[in-house]
Structure 1
Amino acid sequence: NYSYFIEKRTQLLAEVDSSTITIKNAQSSKPRIKTLNKLKKQKEAEERNRLYRQNKDILDRLKSVEEEIKVLEENKANVESQLCNPTILKNSKKVQNLMINLKKINQELATLTRTRDGLILKINEI
Structure 2
Amino acid sequence: MSELRYTQDHEWIRVDGDTAVVGISSHAEKALGDVVFVELPEVGRKLDRGEPFGTVESVKAVSELFAPASGEVIAVNEELSSSPELVNEDPTGDGWFIKLKPFDSGALKELMDQAAYDAFLKDAE
TM over 0.5: no
Q: Name the structure with the higher strand share.
A: 2
The structure with the largest alpha-carbon Rg is: 1
TM-score (normalizing by structure 1) = 0.19
Q: Name the structure with the higher helix share.
A: 1
